[in-house]
Amino acid sequence: MDRTCSITYTLRATRKLTASPPSGFAAFLRGRRAELALADPRRYSLRQVAYRVGVEPSYLSKVERGLEPPPGETTAIALAHELQLDPDLLLAMAGKVSSELQTIIRKRPKLFAELIRALKDQPDHAVLRIVREVRDGNW
């Protein structure tokens, strides 16, 4: 084995030994695709999903294994639609907030910060009640 091959082999072996388990985002993404693949294996193969989302299969594989950070907003939203997920959920799992929500928050940052802090410890049913009241105009 020449020196270059030896170095390449050593680097690959080191990466495999030091690679951490996939993050919550990576594991969730891979699990969701695998879940959908049970019903339709051809449609939800890694290659097919990558193709429809507009990324390379090798990139998607690395994201699913936690070797690449979560994708940007556009790709995350495309993945969410492809995997029948709420885009805001997938973005949040990636540690991101949609540009639409950022724009809304920037218009009244102090007010939204206060609202989110006030709601952070409230049970889901209470938050949903408030959302419904605001959406329906019954407040």
Q: Can you say whether residue 121 is alpha, beta or left, with left for phi > 0 and alpha for psi between -120 and 50 degrees?
A: alpha
Torsion of CA 121, 125, 127, 130, to 10 degrees: -140
pLDDT band at 6 (very low <50, low <70, confident <90, very high): very low
Is there a contact between 52 and 82 (Cβ–Cβ < 8 Å)? yes
Does residue 36 surpass a pLDDT of 90? Answer: yes
Q: For 89-133, what is each residue's pLDDT tens digit? A: 999 999 999 999 999 999 999 999 999 999 999 999 999 999 999
As a whole number of angstroms, the distance between CA 43 and CA 33 comes to 10
Handedness of CA 52, 53, 58, 64 (dihedral sign): negative
